[in-house]
Amino acid sequence: MSIIEPELTALKDNLLDMLNLVINQISTCKEAIHKIDVKLAEEVIENEKKVNSQELAIDRDCENVLALHTPVAVDLRFVLSALRISNDLERIGDNTNSLARFIKHNSKEINKKLLEEFRLEKMLEILSSMLQDMRHALKSDDTNLAKETLKKDLLLNEINKKALKTAEAILKDQSTNAKVVLRLFSIVRNLERSGDLTKNIGEEIVFHVEAEVLKHRKDK
Amino acid sequence: MRKFRLKKISQFQRNRLVDSSFLYLGIFCTFFGLIILAIFIGNILKDGLSRIDWGFMTHLPSRNAAKAGILTAWVGSVWILVLTAIIAIPLGVSAGIYLEEYGKKNRFASVIETNISNLAGVPSIIYGLLGLEIFVRVLHFGGSLLSGAFTLALLILPILIVATREALKAVPNTLREASYGLGATKWQTIRYQILPAASGGIMTGIILALSRAVGETAPLIVIGALAYVPFVPHSPLDEFTVLPMIIFNWVSRPQEEFLVNAAAGIIILLLITFLMNGVAVFLRNKWQKKINW
Amino acid sequence: MTFIEAKKVNAYYGTHHVLKNITLDVKQHSVTAFIGPSGCGKSTFLRTLNRMNDYIDGFNCQGEILIDGQDIYKKDVHVEELRQKVGMVFQKPNPFPKTIYENVAYGLILRGVKDRKTLNERVEKSLKQAALWPEVKDKLNKSAFSLSGGQQQRLCIARTLAVKPAIILMDEPAASLDPISTSKIEELIAELKEDFTIVIVTHNMQQAARVSDKTGFFYLGELIEYDKTKDLFTSPKEKKTENYITGRFG
């Protein structure tokens, strides 16, 4: 076994840990929305620190591998994709954190019906399922699964498109605080962004294993 | 933490003891040889130095010990040396170069190599017999300097070939590669790179071989060199005598004066040998300075 | 423009099949690197290009090797002339035990150049091309062995350059040198590329990646992959290549 292998294995483990963290954050957030539970929201906010420190650790590990082992070919592609995946995960974590903060600070003004209109729970469900697929794909280098999962992002895009109309309708009603509605609208946008970021993770997995660049391609 | 303590009775001390015993043994062995040599030379000088004068060097041999000189003998020795060198050196060095550089390295070649080494050990009198038949009788050179030189050339040929080959083997292959890589032919490589690099070793071989030739007596006796030659040889076909022969002749005489003459002759012979070696070492050092692996 | 072309080259040491069906081509004014584990045939192949293998008993080469369109293994080819057109630098610097000047002038003397002025000019030019002139210009009559290892290797390069070859073969040229001397040699290769075609065998993959335009991976006598260096080191096509360059074996 070459010297670089344990380093790459450790890097992958760290990446999977971070992925698990983010998946947990999302499912906790989903529950927080379901029950409008401030305590759960606070849990998410607290764990955000862990997500950030994981990103820093992965950054550092990648830098070490590049400097000490000068990896080439598949190893180099893995390190590059690990850097980008951890970055994507951090931003997904960030978005989830914003949602949790919203729940914490606006728990009095929001109700289940309002959240249902924007289909937040559904979005979090799709996102969670996408990330779980990506976890499996990352663990077993399964590029087919990664490519399949990319399609699920379309659902998030759908919901995002409708959000504008939903927001408009609620605002006309004037029974709800405009600020809250606008905040919810931007949260939907954030969750759609999280879906894009999850798609990026899939593209990075394909880049690592097959050396194919799917980024910015129209015909994916 | 264990303390770092050196034990009193240690393996290291034992090793040191063996080391210094060998050192003293080596010194003893070296000086033993040198001392014996010094005694021998001292003895000879004591016996013969007084006898050496211009007359000794230029007189012909005579039954009268006081008048006897070694002129014909040392002139004969020089003749033999020069003639043997002229015949043997080109032959021996060329053969060595051919065998080492051009010859194919197969089983036949190693048979040749072994046999040449064997020839170097054949008793010199055998060469004398060979010379007698071929040069003296068949080729009708008679008991002359030419026969003597050819016979001795045959004798020292194996030494020259082996020395040349060893000197060539010692030249690293990287040198040959570098030369070929620049587009040199085999002969160009040998002439410009290998021979200069091997010259020290070849020179040493030549001197060793010629030193041997200068001291050989048995084969020359067989081919007919005489003990009593009252004239200086003028051509290669003349009869001759050499220093070792005249020394041997004098030593077998009963008169004591002849023993003194013999000692003086030995000094001259030693002088010639040392001179030759000195020239060789000088030349070798001069050429070796440039080569530095 | 294709300058060196190997077509189905098979080579044998006696019955031992050391090169198997090697086919590749090298463009003029490029640097090509051959990599592979010990004993894979890369040095053997390099030496077929200037027929240095001819000196090994039992060596036999089949197939075609064309340089500038000419088959160099044809019967009427003058090997000495070939070797002046295809120069070679060896792994351990091997200057002649002569002066620096004599080392560089040797190739010219072999060709019969006697005119002092010409020799002086060519020696100076070659030493300048080998980036050694400033360091030796005041001691051309000193022994070549008075130079350091890295300088000696550049001297060997100068000596090869003096006969104006078209191709320079380098068999692990920096293997016995320290990192600074190595990088000087690599810089030199990058400069020489403009006037010569360079083929280099190296154990050091990072070196191959740094200096070459194309890289060939040899394994057990076969040419496993031969591609642009950029592509070979980021996404090689063969699994064996990938395993080798990522250090999984060899």
What number is the average pLDDT over the span B272-276? 86
Interchain contact A67–C (C-beta under 8 A): no
Contact call for C246 and A70, based on CB within 8 A: no
pLDDT band at B10 (very low <50, low <70, confident <90, very high): confident
Tokens of A177: 């605080």
Delineate the domains of chain C, giving CATH numbers in brackets.
2-245 (3.40.50.300)
Domain A4-210 belongs in CATH node 1.20.58.220: yes
pLDDT band at B6 (very low <50, low <70, confident <90, very high): low
Q: Name the helix (H) or strand (E) containing B212.
A: helix B195-215
Question: B182 to chain C: which residues are within 8 Å by CB?
Answer: 83-84, 87, 106-107, 110, 159-160, 163
What number is the average pLDDT over the span B1-5? 69
The per-residue pLDDT for A220 is 56
Interchain contact A72–C (C-beta under 8 A): yes
**DSSP assignment letter at B100:** I
- Centre a 10 Å sphere on the Cβ of residue C60 and count the other Cβ atoms it contains: 13
* CA-closest candidate to residue C93, choices C183, C26, C163, C158: C158
Q: Name the helix (H) or strand (E) containing A188.
A: helix A178-210
The predicted-structure confidence for C110-143, as pLDDT tens digits, reads as follows 999 999 999 999 999 999 999 999 999 999 999 9
pTM: 0.82
Question: C242 to chain A: which residues are within 8 Å by CB?
Answer: 73-74
Residue pair A113/A36 in contact by the 8 Å Cβ criterion: no
The predicted-structure confidence for A17-55, as pLDDT tens digits, reads as follows 999 999 999 999 999 999 889 999 999 999 999 999 999
Report percent pLDDT > 90 for chain C: 88
Where along chain A do its domains lie? 4-210
Domain count, chain B: 1
SS3 per-residue string spanning B224-241: CCCCCCCCCCCCCCCECC
Residue pair C142/C102 in contact by the 8 Å Cβ criterion: no
Q: Kindly tell me if the per-residue pLDDT of B7 is higher than 70.
A: no
Q: Kindly tell me if the per-residue pLDDT of B181 is higher than 70.
A: yes
* CA-closest candidate to residue A3, choices A56, A60, A64: A64
What number is the average pLDDT over the span B264-276? 87
What number is the average pLDDT over the span C82-97? 94
What number is the average pLDDT over the span B116-140? 90
C-contacting chains (≥3 CB pairs under 8 Å):
A, B
Contact call for C95 and B104, based on CB within 8 A: no
Q: Kindly tell me if the per-residue pLDDT of A118 is higher than 70.
A: yes
Name beta bridge partners: C214: C32, C228
Q: Kindly tell me if the per-residue pLDDT of B51 is higher than 90.
A: no
Q: Kindly tell me if the per-residue pLDDT of B270 is higher than 60.
A: yes
B21 inside domain: no
Contact call for B178 and C143, based on CB within 8 A: no
Residue pair A130/A195 in contact by the 8 Å Cβ criterion: yes
Contacts for C38 with CB less than 8 Å, ≥ 6 apart: C203
Closest in C235, C236, C246 to A71, CB measured: C246
Interface of C with A in 167-186 (CB under 8 A): none
Q: Kindly tell me if the per-residue pLDDT of C83 is higher than 80.
A: yes
Do the bridges between strand C2-13 and strand C16-27 make them parallel or antiparallel, or are there none, so unpaired?
antiparallel
How far apart CA B94 and CA B91 sit, in angstroms, is 5
Smallest CA–CA distance from C97 into chain B, residue:
B291
The predicted-structure confidence for C142-151, as pLDDT tens digits, reads as follows 999 999 999 9
How far apart CA C100 and CA B290 sit, in angstroms, is 12
Report percent pLDDT > 90 for chain B: 36
In what order do the strands lie in the sheet containing C16-27? C16-27, C2-13, C59-67, C70-71
Write phi, then psi, for A209 (nearest 5 degrees).
-80, -40
Closest in B177, B184, B188 to C90, CB measured: B177
The ipTM (two decimal places) reads: 0.92
pLDDT band at B292 (very low <50, low <70, confident <90, very high): very low
Write phi, then psi, for C16 (nearest 5 degrees).
-80, 120
pLDDT band at B1 (very low <50, low <70, confident <90, very high): low
Write phi, then psi, for C26 (nearest 5 degrees).
-125, 130
Disruptive mutation site among B107, B182, B194 for chain C (greatest number of C CBs within 10 Å): B182
B12 inside domain: no
The predicted-structure confidence for B236-252, as pLDDT tens digits, reads as follows 888 888 888 888 888 88
Q: Kindly tell me if the per-residue pLDDT of C250 is higher than 70.
A: no
B208 inside domain: yes
The predicted-structure confidence for B99-111, as pLDDT tens digits, reads as follows 999 888 888 888 9
Interchain contact B181–C (C-beta under 8 A): yes
For B28-77, the DSSP string reads HHHHHHHHHHHHHHHHHHHHHGGG-SHHHHHPPP-SSTTT---HHHHHHH
Contacts for B199 with CB less than 8 Å, ≥ 6 apart: B167, B287
**DSSP assignment letter at B142:** -
The per-residue pLDDT for A176 is 73
Q: Kindly tell me if the per-residue pLDDT of C167 is higher than 90.
A: yes
Smallest CA–CA distance from C205 into chain A, residue:
A72
The per-residue pLDDT for B253 is 84
Write phi, then psi, for C197 (nearest 5 degrees).
-105, 130
What residue has token string 């005694």?
Answer: B39
The predicted-structure confidence for C3-29, as pLDDT tens digits, reads as follows 999 999 999 999 999 999 999 999 999
Tokens of B199: 């010259």
Question: CATH code at B115?
Answer: 1.10.3720.10
How far apart CA C121 and CA C239 sit, in angstroms, is 51
Residue B146: exposure state from Cβ atoms within 10 A (0-12, 13-18, ≥19): buried
Tokens of A108: 């009095």
Report percent pLDDT > 90 for chain A: 71
Question: A74 to chain C: which residues are within 8 Å by CB?
Answer: 235, 242, 246
Please, what's the largest Cα pairwise distance for chain C?
A: 57
The per-residue pLDDT for C164 is 94
Q: Kindly tell me if the per-residue pLDDT of A127 is higher than 90.
A: yes
Q: Kindly tell me if the per-residue pLDDT of A142 is higher than 90.
A: yes
The per-residue pLDDT for B293 is 42
Residue pair B170/B205 in contact by the 8 Å Cβ criterion: no
For residue C35, give the 3-state DSSP assignment: strand
B36 inside domain: no
Report percent pLDDT > 70 for chain A: 99
B24 inside domain: no
Contact call for C246 and A3, based on CB within 8 A: no
How far apart CA B84 and CA B240 sit, in angstroms, is 14
pLDDT band at A109 (very low <50, low <70, confident <90, very high): confident
Disruptive mutation site among A8, A74, A141, A210 for chain C (greatest number of C CBs within 10 Å): A74
Question: B192 to chain C: which residues are within 8 Å by CB?
Answer: 106, 109-110
Disruptive mutation site among A4, A8, A72 for chain C (greatest number of C CBs within 10 Å): A72
How far apart CA A193 and CA A200 sit, in angstroms, is 10
Contact call for B180 and C55, based on CB within 8 A: yes
Question: A3 to chain C: which residues are within 8 Å by CB?
Answer: 247
Q: Containing domain of residue B279, as a range?
A: 54-288
The per-residue pLDDT for A219 is 67
pLDDT band at B289 (very low <50, low <70, confident <90, very high): low
Within 13 A of B283's CA, how many CA atoms are on the CB side?
Answer: 17
* CA-closest candidate to residue A70, choices A15, A11, A6, A4: A4
